[in-house]
Amino acid sequence: MDFAKKYGPTALIAGGSEGVGASYARLLAERGLDLVLLARNTAPLALTRIALQRQFPDRKIESAALDLTAPDMLDKVRAVTAGKEIGLLICNAGSCERNEDFVDNDLGFAQRLATLNVMAPMALAHEFGRAMKARGRGGIVLMGSFAALAGSPTLAVYSAAKAFSATFCEALWHELAPFGVDVLHHQLGSTDTPFIARHYPQQVGKGDNPDTVAAAGVSGIGDGPLLRSPGGAEFAAYLNSMSRADAVRAAYEAGKAFMAG
Ligand SMILES: NC(=O)c1ccc[n+]([C@@H]2O[C@H](COP(=O)([O-])OP(=O)(O)OC[C@H]3O[C@@H](n4cnc5c(N)ncnc54)[C@H](OP(=O)(O)O)[C@@H]3O)[C@@H](O)[C@H]2O)c1
């Protein structure tokens, strides 16, 4: 398969300035795709864009600073991508930096997290998936988490939003397959990203390598609807072997171990 012909000429990476998103960006440029990278903070975004442009002088690497949870997000993305053929959409941004019981946290935080993981990928998949379907080729990747394998106490909205993402991807995968568009839910376990270093420093050095994770994703875009990082299939089988009540308790214990490092 000619990767750039199938998924090019341009990939849009929502959350492409660091971690798994930046690793995807590098691997996609390596495979011949131009890039549009989105993130909120301008400095890391510019650093990543400049580094990639130096490494891949023949590719067109662009970036735009925007918040995927802002009400005018889609208008801004349309402006940035105007005139470009987005053949691959990667929705990477989605992490949760708070671990608190749902009712003890503020509702605004929960709503932003749901917007980031549900409404924003939905809007982007609708916008670019339509064009891909019309063109008869393309790919969509939404990033998930093992936290979705059961309702995860202290991560209630995060785990539920990622479960939405997994189910949504399955349906899109079936709907778009006849039109040559691949859809993948890329479900990650603990991964050593800058986000983790900032918010869960006790986990640094313990998770998967973002480059390895992204390499599996790039190779697996056509093998949807679900790709799990190592350990995910075993964790899912373990949780499925018990009652849902016990699965939730087990997810809680796994989360506690994660917090404790
Ligand atoms: N790391 C893990 O252990 C782990 C485990 C399971 C699943 N995952 C999933 O993997 C994905 C990547 O995780 P990550 O650890 O790299 O952290 P992340 O914060 O979800 O992703 C980092 C990228 O997203 C951007 N971003 C975050 N919020 C944004 C917003 N509101 N608008 C625009 N851009 C935004 C970040 O830049 P700015 O901050 O500058 O905006 C950065 O480019 C997420 O979907 C996460 O749920 C991660």
201 prior amide bond cis, ω within 30: no
pLDDT higher than 90, residue 256 = no
Ligand 1, atom 41, lies closest to the CA of 40
- d(CA 36, CA 68) in angstroms, rounded, equals 14
121 lines ligand 1 (CB under 6 A): no
Q: What percent of the chain has pLDDT over 70?
A: 100
> Integer distance in angstroms from the first to the last C-alpha of the chain?
42
pLDDT tens per residue across span 184-218: 999 999 999 999 999 999 999 999 999 999 999 99
Contact (Cβ atoms closer than 8 angstroms) between residue 214 and residue 191: no
Q: Which two tokens stand for residue 91?
A: 């929705």
Give 69: exposed, middle or buried? Use CB within 10 Å, 0-12, 13-18, 19+: middle
pLDDT tens per residue across span 1-23: 899 999 999 999 999 999 999 99
Q: Is 253 helix (H, G, I), strand (E, B) or coil?
A: helix
Spacing of C-alpha 137 from chain mean position: 20
Task: Name the pLDDT band for 258 (thresholds 50, 70, 90).
Answer: confident
Provide the residue type at 172 as one letter: L
pLDDT higher than 80, residue 260 = no
Task: Name the pLDDT band for 35 (thresholds 50, 70, 90).
Answer: very high
**Residue 110: per-residue pLDDT:** 97
Ligand 1, atom 44, lies closest to the CA of 94
pLDDT higher than 90, residue 43 = yes
Give 79: exposed, middle or buried? Use CB within 10 Å, 0-12, 13-18, 19+: exposed
**Residue 221: per-residue pLDDT:** 98
**Residue 98: per-residue pLDDT:** 85
One-character DSSP codes across 209-260 = -HHHHHHHHHHHGGG-SEEE-TTHHHHHHHHHTS-HHHHHHHHHHHHHHHHH
16 lines ligand 1 (CB under 6 A): yes
pLDDT tens per residue across span 91-125: 999 999 988 999 999 999 999 999 999 999 999 99
Once rounded to an integer, what is the mean pLDDT over residues 44-73?
98
Sign of dihedral through CA atoms 186, 138, 225, 68? Answer: positive
- d(CA 65, CA 26) in angstroms, rounded, equals 19
Task: Provide Rg for the chain, Cα atoms.
Answer: 18
- d(CA 53, CA 35) in angstroms, rounded, equals 10
**Dihedral over alpha carbons 183, 189, 192, 196 (to 10 degrees):** 100
Ligand 1, atom 1, lies closest to the CA of 191
Distance from residue 94's CA to the centre of ligand 1 (Å): 5
Query: Considering the chain, what is the average pLDDT of its residues?
Result: 97
Distance from residue 33's CA to the centre of ligand 1 (Å): 22
Residue with tokens 């939405």, as numbered in its chain = 164
Sign of dihedral through CA atoms 162, 168, 170, 176? Answer: negative
Atom of ligand 1 nearest to the CA of 112: 31
Q: What is the pTM of this model?
A: 0.98
Ligand 1, atom 16, lies closest to the CA of 19
